[in-house]
Amino acid sequence: MENQKNTKEYMNAEETATLLSQTMRDMVERKITARHALAVSRIAIALAKVIEVADLNVRVEFLEQVLKKKK
């Protein structure tokens, strides 16, 4: 996994998908074990859920601001 990010940065959905794709390739090419790939995929799936919730929160906050301005 050469594309390591600074630990202070957050991954977005596209980067998470790329990570999962690369993990699958690495497992198929036997660069990593299935156990390692499973661990990475579990973390990536959890991260994808967090990204989704964070995105929804931003959207809800935006809608709330728009509604407040219309009052």
Alpha-carbon distance of 60 to 54, in angstroms, equals 10
Is the pLDDT at 9 greater than 80? The verdict is: no
Alpha-carbon distance of 55 to 16, in angstroms, equals 15
**3 state SS of 2:** coil
Retrieve residue 43's tokens: 């973390």
The structural domains of the chain, with segments of one domain joined by +, span 13-70
Tens-place pLDDT, residues 43-64: 999 999 999 999 999 999 999 9
pLDDT band (50, 70, 90) for residue 8: very low
Is the pLDDT at 14 greater than 80? The verdict is: yes
Q: Are 60 and 66 in contact (CB under 8 A)?
A: no
Q: Are 43 and 49 in contact (CB under 8 A)?
A: no
Alpha-carbon distance of 50 to 14, in angstroms, equals 14
